[in-house]
Structure 1
């Protein structure tokens, strides 16, 4: 990897490490919105007298915009780099969070009732744009780092960045006890604003995109960026990236695996666990938030070493093993009712989910190198939409079976995890050969 002096000779700035740190930081802040209502879920459920399904729909509102926006914004990175998409998504997040803070200031608690439910959903949709920074960041990180470092870089980006929701899930109930619901969301808003400003001031796009913005010819930009250590490049703009990745059948296999491991799995449980621990185990809101935060932080951090493990042993093998671990953890959660067995089940489930997600994204630049942005958009966008099904479904189990439904709902993950084991085996031994459409991969 060339040093900063070599980069200066070509009129470009930044380093892969700087790019990774800043992308991870703003992603850390933006992704907190996947638990936008999760940490305060029990309060909202009681205050608004929500049914399980309506509660699940409210929790999933930020996931809808997250899922929809990840597709075009992830692909847009292939056209303009990641900085502009990052800033636009964070601007939407700030508007949604600010709107909620103002609404709470004027209505909570005396006038906070079901008449505000549509408005709360709307604010959740706006704030959920922060969750779309995932597809932007994975593409941006892939373009900063060479092919043989993808597992490490993406594992660090996703692993550390995903701690954000866990920190909020733990901290928000504590803040609510100290400064109230409105004050807690106001502090959250200030944090996201600071993160956005820091990113805007110091972040730069990977070398290829900087050169293109300077007016350098595309081929010459690739040659210079390649000299500086970048070896993955987009084959076209955003629309072309989406089309190219959509023609690759392995993109859709990765969509399914991501949906179960993270998009519809980990993010759903990040929002659901506070309610599970508070309602099913009758713990305090602060303790429920602490346990949910433990799940999120652990499942996120384990992705860091899991990325390097995937580099070494291959994402397919790691995916097979990790989805089997997920199935085991889900089965434990489905049948146990005691506190400590549930803790064990939660940690086993978090282990499988964290490792599986690292394995999936190690495979993106390997299987779709000519359209990393488009593939990341499809995978994280459609996969992220899984929460729109899983959260209301888990709410249905609670409505249909009463208290025990909070446990039985985990049976959904038993079935999905076992399906993913079979799909990952097929990915390794049946559909791992390159498609004709990817023969001209844009990797040097």
Structure 2
């Protein structure tokens, strides 16, 4: 990277900056850095919305007439995590090659592929499951963007501000997960523009059939994607980072790359995995997807179960978890700059462990104890899940503070991209796990993993005299 301390930052009228050292106030352009953060954060939020659109649509597909099993729905929500993890391995090496301007612009335009595809497919219940899986895979483009956007933005800020800058970008970007799940129930209730498609009929236990327009859940983002691409192309610059793709892989010779990968799986992997599955868990544990509840609805004994207990609509709750996790990441990022990241990662691990253990007690609701008991169990489940999201969000902020402190600038970008890529498999692993085993077993495995990560954090980074305090 060019670091001439005697030269003001300049671009020569082109895309690439000719002198840039954010650690030197004489060459660092603060306005350009924050403008870059603003635009990339806006487009990253759209990318996350595109990535998790399957999780907002999947719990409703059977209500729209799609003939899909519970396992097929879990897989539909899991596949975007698989593709995002794979694509992040590609995107992580692109920032030095393409530069921020081209990377953000082209990636943003690619979001149109899954969005338009979902808008068309959701209107036809005869759409093949293979095509739905293909759309779910293409949704991973939005997840892949993270491993390109975050390292690219890190080039623009000094280390003392990277916890705040990266925390803001990732945290606000994470709001895209909550956004797509919050906006969907609202926008599907009316026809935005006639030529965008006809209505569908939705059935839901305890309610009369209703006309809905689920294509709106995807169309609503298309104009914002186009705006984001234009802003990126016209207002962003690129930092010349002198490194080849081969050189970027020297991060794997550093043991801290692997330790931080584990910690980011615990934090962001949990956030992303549960964000994708929260709605389906509500439906399959406490809604019509629970066989005991479905049987009672079918045989006319509904009142035995639901007097005083309303069957929860997954989309009415699913946005809360990502919202809490994203807010925690934003709010705690400045605190990681002030107090360091390792101690917050330790707190995150302990909090995740306690919350997972608590929530595991609510995963086998007993519908025979009456409505009041079932409602109490559901409330405990939701609160436990929100606690997991809270501590995962804190850890998302703290780990991104640790990495720039542990690694040199060139390596830090690569490590951020790599750890983000592996953690992006969270929705896939959570989907597969919940398909292959009972939820309680899966949560017990999560608790054991959290205990291991707590030990790693304490021994390597947080204890007095730790080898790499951060």
Normalization by structure 1: what TM-score?
Answer: 0.80
Alpha-carbon distance between aligned partners in 2 of 1:15 and 1:286, rounded to the nearest angstrom: 46
Deviations 1:241-276 (A, max 9, x none): 1x12111111111111111211x3111111111122
Q: Which residue of 2 aligns with 1:26?
A: 43
Q: What is aligned with 1:215?
A: none
Question: Which secondary structure state, in structure 1, belongs to the residue aligned with residue 92 of structure 2?
Answer: helix
Report what 1:238 is aligned to.
245
Q: 1:186 to 1:9 in 2, by over 3 A?
A: closer
Secondary structure of 1:204 counterpart: coil
Return the structure number with greater relative CO, CA threshold 8 A, min gap 6: 1
What RMSD in Å do the two structures reach over aligned CA positions? 2.6
The aligned counterpart of 1:38 is 55
Distance in 2 (alpha carbons) for counterparts of 1:376 and 1:69: 14
Tell me the distance in 1 between the aligned counterparts of 2:254 and 2:464: 15
- Distance (whole Å) between structure 1 residues aligned to residue 179 and residue 316 of structure 2: 9
Of 243, 263, 281, the residue aligned with 1:257 is 263
State the alpha-carbon separation in 2 of the partners of residues 152 and 200 from structure 1: 25
Measure the CA separation in 1 of the matches of 2:185 and 2:442.
25
Aligned to 2:297: none
SS of corresponding position for 1:236 = coil
Indicate the residue corresponding to 1:202 in structure 2: 235
Q: Is the 8 A contact 2:109 2:225 kept in 1?
A: no
CA contact (8 A) 2:287 2:313 kept: no
In the aligned structure 2, how far is the partner of 1:349 from the partner of 1:104? 31
Q: Distance in 2 between matches of 1:285 and 1:392?
A: 26
Matches within 5 A, 1:54-69: 54-69=72-87
Larger radius of gyration: 2
Partner of 2:369: none
Relative to its length, the structure with more helix (as a share) is 1
Paired position in structure 2 for 1:143: 155
Question: Aligned pair 1:388/2:395, yes or no?
Answer: no
The 1:102/1:40 distance shift into structure 2, 3 A limit, reads closer
**Residue equivalent to 1:228:** none
The Cα shift of 1:119 comes to 1.2
Determine the structure 1 residue equivalent to 2:451: 418
For structure 2, the 5+ residue unaligned runs are 1-6, 18-28, 192-212, 289-309, 366-376
Deviations 1:188-223 (A, max 9, x none): 333333333332332223xx43xxxxxxxxxxxxxx
Contact 1:37 1:58 in 2 (8 A): yes
Give the Cα separation in 1 of the matches to 2:443 and 2:458: 23
3-state SS, counterpart of residue 172 of structure 1: helix
Q: Does residue 1:332 correspond to 2:358, yes or no?
A: yes
TM-score normalised by length of structure 2: 0.76
- Number of residue equivalences: 389
Match of 1:442 in 2: none
Cα deviation 1:83-108 (Å, max 9, x = unaligned):
22223323332112222323345xx1
The answer to whether the Cα contact below 8 Å between 2:80 and 2:427 also exists between their aligned partners in 1 is no
Which residue of structure 2 aligns with residue 229 of structure 1? none
**8 Å contact 1:72–1:238 — kept in the other structure?**
no
The 1:102/1:289 distance shift into structure 2, 3 A limit, reads closer
1:45–1:362: structure 2 CA closer, same or farther, 3 Å change rule? farther
Structure 2 counterpart of 1:153: 165
Q: 1:418 to 1:197 in 2, by over 3 A?
A: same
Aligned partners of 1:431, 1:387: CA distance in 2, in Å? 36
1:225 equivalent in structure 2: none
1:123 aligns with 2:143: no
Unaligned runs of 5+ in 1: 210-233, 435-444
